[in-house]
Amino acid sequence: MQKKNLFVIKRSLFSICLLISILGIGTMTVAEQISGINIKAELVWSESDGDNFQIVYSRFENNRWSKDVRITNTDSSDILPCIGKGADGVTWVVWSVVNGIQSQLFYSLSDGGAWSQPTLIPTGFASNTAPSVVVSSDNVPHIAWSGFDGNVDNIYYISRKGNSWTDPQKVNLDNAVPDILPIIGMNDVGNLWVYWAGYDGGGKYRNYSSVRYGVKWEEETEENVSDNVYLAMINKSVSQIPALPESVSDTAKASIYLENGGQIQSLPLRYLK
């Protein structure tokens, strides 16, 4: 079972690294700490314990990182975490749990104290990977991820209302090519957006986006490299990231929440060099 888990994990991480090189992302570096600016950030990453991968957390405040805190301690492999925070001060961490050839989404919460028990997010799919989260001003988590429907990977969206999750909603066009690696954000007027990589059927992955108005996602739009507003926002957020703790050995397995990160809450560190 562990060999199957490691195969799935390595394949996922290899795919991410390959796509980074294809799409030309990962062009920004970690910012130098700027004197006089009070940067607040929260970081999550996947770290090997020798047998499996576990989710680890640290907080940056007063120009230093806190002691690493392990959120999970399981016999499965927990990978590709994302992180967001609501106005109520509750931090949400969502990640993919690999068991054999299947993977599911789990989450954990903290209001500054102990982390809650990891809890399953029901999606109905056998494979769920690369989640991204943003928490709206009413403290509702909104999650986008890549889910396999039995035929191809698609970008899906789900949110939590009260004690229950909504049904998954497909974001990308209904096609026969894979769509992967989403980032979800919220614009200044409260509309959700998702930005992702989609295969064009001709040998290349391209960047696409969609905005949610009301309860529907608009038809996806291809983003040009020259005037890509989403990539510009990502690069701006990257410029605010402080030097990472030494315990983070692979940024492809990490995401960061910046208190003043603008429209993006969970920034995957695959965008770093």
> What CA–CA distance (Å, rounded) separates 97 from 79?
6
pTM of the model: 0.89
Predicted pLDDT of residue 196:
97
Report the relative pairing of strands 119-121 and 127-135 from DSSP bridges.
Answer: unpaired
Contact (Cβ atoms closer than 8 angstroms) between residue 272 and residue 238: yes
The three-class DSSP label of residue 231 is helix
CATH class of 2-271: mainly beta
Contact (Cβ atoms closer than 8 angstroms) between residue 103 and residue 97: yes
Q: What is the pLDDT of residues 145-199, one digit of tens each?
A: 999 989 999 999 999 988 899 999 999 999 999 999 999 999 999 999 999 999 9
> What CA–CA distance (Å, rounded) separates 5 from 121?
20
> What CA–CA distance (Å, rounded) separates 40 from 254?
17
Predicted pLDDT of residue 9:
53
Predicted pLDDT of residue 227:
87
Predicted pLDDT of residue 128:
97
CA angle 197, 29, 204 (to 5 degrees): 20
Which residues of the chain register pLDDT less than 70?
A: 1-37, 273
> What CA–CA distance (Å, rounded) separates 133 from 117?
18
Where are the chain's structural domains? 2-271
> What CA–CA distance (Å, rounded) separates 158 from 147?
11
